[in-house]
Amino acid sequence: MNDAQAPRKVSVEVTLYPLRGDYIPPIDAFIDRVKQVDRVEVRCTDLSTQVFGDHELVMDLLRDGIAESWDAFGDGAFVLKVLPGDLRGIAPDSKPDARA
């Protein structure tokens, strides 16, 4: 990427399936972790978490968040859907900062 280009944007849908009976704490901890970065937008639905922002920042954040989740809570299956571009305008069922 040359200096004249804007950073590549990415939209990622993340679902965590903790491999333990008490599954809420790992999910909440992961969401809290990704929300700590101001330069990304995090939206939560009943089934997944959506993360929007610069490609490198989002991917680094997810890599680190997944590793921290495994370290803190043990095994869990993460499913990521990674799409190029900022797709916030076509995610009608998501709510910024909402978590049930």
Show me where the domains of the chain are located: 9-84
- Local confidence pLDDT in tens for the 100 residues of the chain: 555 677 899 999 999 999 989 999 999 999 999 999 999 999 999 999 999 999 999 999 999 999 999 999 999 999 999 999 999 988 555 555 544 3
Single out the residue of 56, 44, 52, 82 nearest to residue 64, CA to CA. 56
pLDDT the model gives residue 84: 96
What does the angle CA 51 – CA 16 – CA 91 come to, to the nearest 5 degrees?
Answer: 35
Report the run of H or E that residue 24 belongs to, with start and end: helix 24-34
Q: Give the global pTM.
A: 0.83
Fold of 9-84: Alpha-Beta Plaits (3.30.70)
The mean pLDDT of the chain is 90
Would you tell me how many other CB atoms lie within 10 Å of the CB of residue 13? 19
